[in-house]
Amino acid sequence: MADSMIDKLHLTPDDAFPEDLEKVPDHELQVLDSQVQRQLDHEVVTNGEPNPETEFRHYELDEEFNDRDKR
């Protein structure tokens, strides 16, 4: 993940998202998860509900963390 991506606080639905989370190192995955969680919280507060893309990304990250815990 590029440094500019890591420096962002939120990951909007229009921002790039890795196609294969399995290839993302643990520390970058944790940063990505924080960015998506912040975006999810922001969308719920401002719009009353999350954007479907943000919700999907949150789900994908949870699945990847679960898969890594099993390894």
Sign of the C-alpha dihedral, residues 48, 54, 59, 64? negative
Tens of pLDDT along 13-58?
999 999 999 999 999 999 999 999 999 999 999 999 999 999 999 9
Point out the least confidently predicted range of 15-19, 44-48, 60-64, 67-71: 67-71
Enter the DSSP assignment of 10: -
Report d(CA 30, CA 17) in Å as an integer: 13
| Buried b or exposed e, range 45-70, using 16+ CB within 10 angstroms | eeeeebbebbeebbeebeebeeeeee
pLDDT of residue 41: 96
Question: Amino acid identity, residue 52?
Answer: P
